[in-house]
């Protein structure tokens, strides 16, 4: 990918049209150049502030080459925050850790193409609903994402697969179908969260 001076609208249109690569590990850096033009590039700028955009959640790409049974786990990061959220919302801390891993690979600065932010990739409306003021703040993001995950588990009677599908594709659709939507991205996401969950539980 070469550097492109294009508007957010054009980037969104390209993404919707399928012209933007959908590799979950691909990333683009957005910054404003010396001429005041917004630039999207796969090269990190050396001399100015930037935002890193992830085009999908970390585990959403059906064609991912990651071995999810063997990929290194994040065992030490945010232990206090995860433990507190797990206790507060009566969640398995391994589930919170698995969702964070699947959503952002523990990158607190992650920003998806759809505008989801932070460790648990919260959208603005979701963040507002769960009381998160700063989505980039790790403690707030984990607390808010865990609260939302707990709500989904309650909504889907403790079914982790359906709750995770709802976390990815939205609860209304999952509720209407009564099943995991037949989207390759969502099916891959749910499968990988479950793999990660079992691995984190074994620690």
Q: How far apart are CA 37 and CA 20, in angstroms?
A: 20
Which runs of consecutive H residues, i.e. helices, occur in the chain? 8-17, 79-89, 93-104, 124-129, 138-155, 160-169, 171-177, 184-201
DSSP labels, 46-58? SSS--EEEESS-T
Q: Which two tokens stand for residue 144?
A: 């808010």
Query: Which DSSP symbol is given to 5?
Result: -
Which residues form the catalytic set?
103
Are the beta carbons of 199 and 69 closer than 8 angstroms? Answer: yes
Size (the chain), residues: 203
Are the beta carbons of 157 and 175 closer than 8 angstroms? Answer: no
85: buried, middle or exposed (CB in 10 Å: 19+, 13-18, 0-12)? buried
Q: How far apart are CA 154 and CA 142, in angstroms?
A: 18
Helix (H, G, I), strand (E, B) or coil at 114: coil
């Amino acid at each position: 990918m070469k550097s492109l001076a294009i508007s957010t609208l054009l980037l969104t249109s390209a993404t919707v049209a399928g012209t933007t690569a959908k590799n979950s590990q691909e990333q683009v850096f957005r910054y404003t150049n010396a001429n005041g033009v917004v630039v999207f590039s796969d090269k990190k700028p050396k001399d100015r502030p930037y935002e890193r955009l992830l085009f999908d959640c970390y585990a959403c790409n059906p064609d991912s080459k990651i071995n999810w049974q063997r990929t290194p786990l994040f065992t030490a990061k945010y232990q206090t925050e995860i433990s507190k959220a797990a206790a507060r919302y009566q969640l398995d801390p391994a589930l919170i850790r698995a969702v964070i891993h699947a959503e952002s690979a523990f990158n607190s600065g992650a920003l998806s193409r759809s505008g989801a932010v932070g460790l648990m990739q919260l959208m603005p409306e979701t963040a507002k609903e769960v009381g998160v003021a700063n989505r980039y703040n790790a403690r707030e993001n984990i607390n808010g994402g865990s609260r939302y995950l707990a709500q989904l588990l309650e909504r889907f009677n403790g079914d982790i697969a359906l709750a995770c599908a709802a976390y990815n594709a939205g609860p209304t659709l999952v509720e209407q179908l009564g099943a995991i939507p037949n989207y390759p991205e969502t099916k891959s996401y749910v499968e990988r969260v479950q793999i990660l969950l079992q691995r984190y539980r074994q620690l």
